[in-house]
Chain A
């Protein structure tokens, strides 16, 4: 885990005091709500339908048990005893009082956390692969570079009033769990032929009204050039990005309207001016940060120990969980454990104060005190001994955090939707709950296999519906909620935008429609080896469309 030094701590403390002054000026009436808005937004404070919402940054999704306990404590003390994990590895509190927010930030600062740049038209919290440092085949730990970018982007004087928000994601693996191709900048850590570490630079991806898969504008930017190249992209965007229409202001529109070749030329022209100089990333800083992410003191263990294998044989419920929720660890005898925040019929991503505290305890006991938040709104314990898995599973069951559905049909991403959000046109959470209930039978879920459903309550696409294997978009038609279904999207290395199936469905019909799509897949797949996504890519949407609309 990265630890603050005096510079980092001083900076965050000073930021808290600055925000305290801003809130005081708002409460005294010196600042109008309009004037206060850009200030609070730069600190993750939104005004929602019913209350303020505070979005806390979890840089690159990595949390210590101490930090998670603090998040639990804050939720109990200042909120309603729960938090909500978002699709950008942040945590949201839905009910804080404005007057308390400076104190909440001060409490966060005591555990080296903040809410900097979790909203506003600035460089947002940098996200990363939740399996960073533990995935087999990783070129390098993406968190090192995410931390470099976190610091460089913090209150950047030039890039705090961009045309629109700017999101960066980074992965160190060819397997993309960080959805880098739907980010404004997506980075893949790669090695060139000389064995040097660098980055593939993907630019101009994004969801929202105009879903676009990013374009690779440079297949290898050397490590030392990370900041100069990023600054070149940001400067071109800040000067040329559209300011006349907020719906056309993201960098994806600039890249499309300029043309990727011309855009790349502009970036390279800018880069040539700043490449040699103070933006060069010194290797000693990389090494300093790398030391914080050194592997924990793993024991030398045999893979697949007998006590683990016996439990797999003896307890089918444990085996189901192990099948869905575990991922291979790069160290023999260890596993990566995913904690589902998607209990059947539950609210995706919500977690109570007592669950957070219990997870912190389990992390201390089983995972070197470390937790990860995933963009799919689950939690991960990154280093668990395989021989401890059964005990951990039993503990997680008691906490309702062991639903064996990670990557399956009920592991649904959903935005807060009309239950909380001022922008939403339709509810998302109850749709996720209905679908989850419909597929409650775990045997059926495992039979269906990998299937990602993603639900957004409006065109802004916070629920990533465009890149769901099944995407659901809530729309408003004359005051009534309708839901449009898309098929075949993906946020991974094979990123694609889903295709619209046909006319939208009413709130009461959408669950049936999803079930119909799933049944069509089960009927027409070339055996259980063909996943839902593979079949959609093989057949296109036609058979699904026929089954769905002809039946109606």
Chain B
């Protein structure tokens, strides 16, 4: 398992903690929603905590706690299960989450661009990550038809901006 951030393989400062395992004294840990609920006070006291949401756990459930997490990991149990694409957009665009948003599970190279546009900024990939290929995946398309968490202008916005500029020059 390798972690990609900003298009590069980076070392992972976080450990996914099984519900049964005790938390280590130091270092970042990522816990399940169930464990967060059960041990909330202790975890808050400890600090350096992240959360991992399964694909049937909508992020609205942690909306009030977002400030406590150093990372939120959203799970893709199989590549076909695309719920986390919506969850990521909600976290970024509606709930205003600014921290690390990590894609975990069955994360495929050809989905990275979609995930990135929905607001993921780190990716646990199964195959050996290749920084060049990652940059390539994100730059395959030079334009887009929809707004998402990446907040880049769409073809529709650009074409009317261009038309307005032409109209203004004409005046």
Contacts of B55 in A (CB 8 A): 243
Cβ of B160 within 8 Å of any chain A Cβ, yes or no, is: yes
Among A90-98, A277-285, A316-324, A411-419, which stretch is in contact with chain B?
Answer: A277-285
B150 vs chain A, min Cβ distance (A): 8
Stretch at the interface among B2-10, B18-26, B27-35, B113-121: B113-121
Cβ contacts under 8 Å, A8 to chain B: 155
Please state if B159 and A161 are interface contacts (CB–CB under 8 Å): no
Complex-state Cα separation, A159 to B143, whole angstroms: 17
Question: A12-37, CB under 8 A of B: which get 1 and which 0?
Answer: 00110110001000000000000100
A209 to B75, CA, bound (A): 30
Q: Is the interface of B mostly helix, strand, loop or mixed?
A: helix
Closest CB-CB distance, A357 to chain B, in whole Å? 33
- Is the C-beta of A67 less than 8 angstroms from some C-beta in chain B? no
Q: State whether A14 touches B141 (Cβ < 8 A).
A: yes
Given the interface pairs A14-B140, A151-B156, the reply to whether A156 lies near B82 with Cβ below 8 Å is no
The stretch of B38-46, B61-69, B83-91, B97-105 in contact with A is: B83-91
Contact A243 B156 (CB under 8 A): no
A47: interface (CB < 8 Å) = no
- Residue-wise, chain B 116-148 has the 8 Å CB interface mask toward A (1 for contact) of 011000000000000000000000111111111
Q: A residues within 8 A CB of B144?
A: 155
A157 engages B81 (CB within 8 Å): no
Candidates A39, A153, A243, A288; contact of B83 at CB < 8 Å: A243
CA distance A18 to B136 in the complex (A): 10
Chain A residues, CB < 8 A from B140: 14, 17-18
- CB of A239 within 8 A of CB of B146, answer no
**B141 and A238 contact, CB distance less than 8 A:** no
Which residues 490-543 of A have a CB within 8 angstroms of B?
A: none
Q: How far is the CA of A311 from the CA of B157 in the complex (A)?
A: 53
A144 CB to closest chain B CB, in angstroms?
13
The number of residues on chain B lying at the interface, defined by a beta carbon within 8 Å of a beta carbon of chain A, is 37
Whether the pair A243, B81 counts as a contact (CB closer than 8 A) is: yes
Contact with B along A266-280 (1 / 0, CB 8 A): 000000010000110
Given A10-B142, A11-B155, verify A158-B148 contact (CB < 8 Å). Answer: yes
Q: Which of A151, A152, A154, A155 has the most chain B CB atoms closer than 10 A to its own CB?
A: A155
**Smallest distance from the beta carbon of A18 to chain B beta carbons, Å?**
5
Question: Which of B85, B86, B148, B158 contacts A7 (CB under 8 A)?
Answer: B158
CA of A161 to CA of B77 in the docked complex: distance in angstroms? 13
B169 proximal to A (CB < 8 A):
no
Contacts of A151 in B (CB 8 A): 145, 155-156
Q: Does B16 lie at the interface of the complex (its beta carbon under 8 Å from any beta carbon of A)?
A: no
CA distance A22 to B144 in the complex (A): 20
* A86 at the binding interface (Cβ < 8 Å): no
Known contacts A161-B81, A239-B86; A7 and B146 CB within 8 A of each other: no
B94 CB-CB contact with A under 8 Å = yes
Q: Do B85 and A154 touch (CB < 8 A)?
A: no
Residues of A within 8 A of B142 (CB): 10, 14
Decide: A155 near B141, CB < 8 A? Known: A7-B155, A7-B158, A161-B85.
Answer: yes
Contact A282 B160 (CB under 8 A): yes
Q: Which residue of A lies closest to B140 (CB)?
A: A18
Contacts of A279 in B (CB 8 A): 147
**CB–CB A284/B160 < 8 A:** yes
Q: How far is the CA of A288 from the CA of B157 in the complex (A)?
A: 13
Contact: A162 with B82, CB < 8 Å? yes
Are B79 and A152 closer than 8 Å at their CB atoms?
no
B17 at the A/B interface (Cβ < 8 Å)?
A: no
Contacts of B158 in A (CB 8 A): 7
A121 within 8 A of B: yes
B171 located at the interface, meaning its Cβ lies under 8 Å from any Cβ of chain A in the complex: no
Q: What chain B residues lie within 8 Å of A11 (beta carbons)?
A: 141, 143, 145, 155
A131 CB, nearest partner CB in chain B, Å: 28
Residue pair A158, B85 in contact (C-beta under 8 Å): yes
Q: A14-B142, A39-B110, A151-B145 are known contacts. Are A157 and B160 too (CB-CB below 8 A)?
A: no
Q: Does B1 contact A (CB under 8 A)?
A: no
Besides the contacts A156-B145, A278-B154, what 20 more A-B pairs have beta carbons closer than 8 Å? A5-B159, A7-B143, A14-B142, A38-B110, A151-B156, A154-B145, A155-B141, A157-B114, A157-B117, A158-B82, A158-B114, A160-B82, A160-B114, A161-B79, A161-B80, A161-B111, A235-B86, A238-B86, A239-B86, A243-B81
Among all A-B residue pairs, the 5 with the closest Cβ atoms:
A161-B82, A7-B155, A157-B117, A157-B114, A158-B85
Interface CB pairs A-B, < 8 A, 25: A5-B159, A7-B143, A10-B143, A11-B141, A14-B141, A14-B142, A15-B141, A35-B108, A38-B79, A39-B110, A121-B82, A157-B85, A158-B86, A158-B148, A159-B82, A160-B82, A161-B80, A161-B82, A161-B111, A161-B114, A235-B86, A238-B82, A239-B58, A278-B157, A288-B159
- A residues near B, CB below 8 A? 5, 7-8, 10-11, 14-15, 17-18, 22, 35, 38-39, 121, 151-162, 235, 238-239, 243, 273, 278-279, 282, 284-285, 288
